[in-house]
Amino acid sequence: MTEHEMMSLLKIDLGIIGTAYDPQLGQLIAAAKDMIAREGVALTDSIEDAQLVILYAAYLFRKRATNEGMPRMLRWALNNRIFSRGDGGNAP
């Protein structure tokens, strides 16, 4: 999935219509990828991994306003991605 497609889906998730937040959202997508990689996940071009990045970026956007902890669903998705392959998530 391209960066543009991820940006479009993130904007839909957040209910954002215009382009005013595009620079910030692009930064959040990049940060989400880095933070997921720090968890030990080698991201691929799969739709599943793209969705994980979008979920994480949406969490980062919402967190700045609410300061809530990571949603359980996102933590579950990360853990599932890390441990489902039995190698710490680093298989291609």
Q: How far apart are CA 6 and CA 1, in angstroms?
A: 7
pLDDT digits (tens, 9 = 90+) for 20-64: 999 999 999 999 999 999 999 999 999 999 999 999 999 999 988
pLDDT value of position 68: 82
How many Å apart are CA 23 and CA 85, to the nearest integer? 34
pTM of the model: 0.85
